[in-house]
Amino acid sequence: MTRVTILSDNEVVDSRPKGLRAEWGFAADVDGLLFDTGQTGIAADNADKLGLGPYETIVLSHGHYDHTKGLPAFVDDVEEIYVHPDAFEPKYHGEESIGLPYTREWIASYATINTHRDPVEVADGIYALGEIPRRYPDSSTGELRDSDGNARPDPVHDDQSLAVEGEDGLGLVLGCCHAGLRNTVAHAEDVFDRPVRTVLGGTHLRSPDPDELDEIVAWVTDRVDRIAPTHCTGHDARRKLEDAFGEDYERVGVGSTIEL
């Protein structure tokens, strides 16, 4: 079994251990590797309170600040970082920078950077999926800018998730899932020729059209056995997912541990 413990999320769901804190962001311990770093040093503080870490391997889901800005709290121990090459592109929401706030050169001064677009095994039975094909509508957001300052929509091609091999299928750990929940599940099943059993993490189902949301929920319910949404999952999506999955819906947050 692979154990996933949430270190950074929008809420804390348990009162023990004392002192766990929440933030807008995501990070998780996945059997001793770190998936995303949250927005501040809160993920590192929470890991310490939970008796987890330090981390030699970090996988970044994409290049947004709420998944990467907490990196300095971990760099003294990290040896390898896995990330899509587009994560280093400057990303904006209007005039506000929302991208990875550290240069590639600064990160490389601490750790080996492994950029990849294809799936890659990052630990025994754990894979960073790389770039996700978009056969269904995605959840892209923000803008990219060229050297002249011209803006264009950011497809967030750098968005990736973790796929964890289990006895009877796959578990997925999502960062923000800008690639789209259906696209990510379908790609993982195509790559490994195995069904996805559990989905944990940010789904970016924040404010889609109600009919589209119903379609996504129906698709996922028919495909996946268990779901535990976090971070960028809107209230309507959480409610509809809980109604659809029933007892196979898990409410999680900082400090929660799920076995895949």
Q: What CATH code is carried by the domain that includes residue 175?
A: 3.60.15.10
Q: What is the pLDDT of residue 164?
A: 98
Q: What is the pLDDT of residue 207?
A: 72
pLDDT tens, residue by residue, 15-74: 789 999 999 999 999 999 999 999 999 999 999 999 999 999 999 999 999 999 999 999
Reading the block at residue 171, the tokens are 């578990």
Q: What is the pLDDT of residue 146?
A: 82
49 Cβ contact partners less than 8 Å away, ≥ 6 residues apart:
17, 18, 19, 20
Question: 37 by DSSP, 3-state: which?
Answer: coil
Concatenating the DSSP letter of every residue in 202-214 gives: E---SS--HHHHH
pLDDT at 123 over 80: yes
Nearest CA to 160 out of 136, 135, 187, 190 is that of 187
- Is the entire prediction scored with pTM above 0.85? yes
Looking at the 3D structure of the chain, how many domains does it have? 1
Confidence of residue 195 (pLDDT cuts 50, 70, 90): very high
Reading the block at residue 180, the tokens are 């789209």
Is the CA virtual torsion 139, 95, 24, 32 positive or negative?
Answer: positive
Q: What is the pLDDT of residue 167?
A: 87
pLDDT at 118 over 90: yes
Q: Which domain holds residue 133?
A: 3-259
66 Cβ contact partners less than 8 Å away, ≥ 6 residues apart:
24, 25, 26, 38, 39
Burial code (b: 16+ CB inside 10 Å, e: under 16) for 131-154 equals: bbeeebebbbbbebbeeeeeeeeb
Place of tokens 């990875």: 100
Burial class (CB in 10 A: 0-12, 13-18, 19+), 15: exposed
pLDDT tens, residue by residue, 1-16: 899 999 999 999 987 8
pLDDT tens, residue by residue, 206-216: 877 889 999 99
Q: Which residue has the higher pLDDT, 208 or 87?
A: 87
CA distance 19 to 65: 24
pLDDT at 99 over 90: yes
Q: What is the mean pLDDT of the chain?
A: 96
pLDDT tens, residue by residue, 126-176: 999 999 999 999 999 999 988 788 899 999 999 999 999 998 999 999 999
CA 64 to chain centre: 11
Is the CA virtual torsion 121, 125, 129, 135 positive or negative?
Answer: positive
Cβ atoms 220, 185 nearer than 8 A: yes
CA distance 214 to 245: 13
Confidence of residue 182 (pLDDT cuts 50, 70, 90): very high
Reading the block at residue 17, the tokens are 């251990």
Q: What is the pLDDT of residue 59?
A: 98
